Each structure stands twice: as C-alpha cells, then as structure tokens.
Homo-oligomer: A and B are copies of this chain.
Amino acid sequence: MSSSALPYRPHNHQACVAQALADARTICQQHNARLTPTRERVLELIWQSHKPLGAYDVLAVLAEDGHNAAPPTVYRALDFLQQYGLVHRIASLNAFTGCTHAGKSHNGMFLICRSCGNVLELTAPAVSSALHRAAAEESFRPEDVTIEVSGYCPRCASDDAHG
C-alpha cells in the first residue's frame, strides 16, 4: 500500500502516485465500483500534489488537459473518491488530499503545516479511543470524526522562529 507517510523528505513521488492509482483500481474492483477515466485522473491530480488541492484547482488542471469540465464533474468525482476512502476532504482548508491508508480502516488525523502547506495524515488510535470515550460519556454516537491540527511541521519549525 502506498504509504508516503513522510511528505517532508524528497522522494520519487511518481512512484507514490502510481502505487496509489494501482491501489485505487484494486479497491474499486473489490467494491464493484467504476474507476472511470475522469475519476482516476482526479485522483492522480490530487496525489501528484503534495498539498491538498481545492476542487477548483483540480478543475483548472482538467481544463489544461483539454477536458472541458464543469464544477459538478469534479465534485462528483471527489464524492466518489471519498466514498471509497481514496481521498479525504480537509474541512479547514476546503481542499482534498489523497488518503495514505486507503483500503485499511483507519481513523485519520491531519497535521497541516501553516508554513509549507504540507499535510501529514496519521492514524492515532490513542486519540481515537479517547475521543470515543468522551463521546460515549455524553451518550453521543459518532459517525464521522474530523481531526485537523494546524501548526508547524518539523522543517518549518526549525527553519526560523515562528514562536
């Protein structure tokens, strides 16, 4: 599975993307879902960017492709990809990022660097379980959990004095 869990370090990102697409094809097959060309292209674009892409960013690249797409095309593709856990929407950014744990069930949490914009998705079982306990104490039944942490990544924090 594609686990470029460290976007901080340079690496052969084309390989990440290729792996993510391969994974996506497998996952869609398993669910009898159709990873159509548009959907695959959108997933590819999102993966190619290390930073979350807005829907209209995707739209712009599709336009460069020569694909005369309108917003619904992109949003529909994104809905599909989210549905199968291939991308996540970052609510605090109105943007989308490729899931680095696609296929595995996971409780994602996002570390978003204010300086460089990179996003790291991690699975934090301790956070997740503490959160579910807290919800249970209120007799609340969670269906969907959003955890987004804005701050400074190691590289940017050391670069200079942000605080």
Contact = CB atoms under 8 A, between A and B. Distances in A.
Interface string A100-118: 0000000001010110000
B109 A131 contact: yes
B146 A150 contact: yes
Interface string A138-151: 11111111111111
A135 interface: yes
Given A111-B135, A111-B138, A142-B149, 12 more contacts: A92-B146, A111-B140, A111-B142, A124-B131, A124-B134, A131-B147, A139-B153, A140-B149, A141-B151, A144-B151, A145-B148, A146-B147
A148 B134 CA distance: 12
A147 B110 CA distance: 11
Closest 3 CB pairs of A and B: A139-B154, A91-B91, A124-B134
Interface of A: 91-92, 109, 111, 113-114, 120, 122, 124, 126-127, 130-131, 133-135, 138-154, 157, 162-163
Given A146-B147, A147-B147, A140 B153 contact: yes
Nearest to A120: B138
A126 B130 contact: yes
14 contacts: A91-B148, A109-B131, A111-B135, A122-B134, A124-B130, A126-B133, A126-B134, A131-B149, A141-B157, A141-B162, A142-B151, A143-B150, A144-B151, A145-B149
A152 B126 contact: no
Contact of A138 (B133, B139, B154, B163): B154
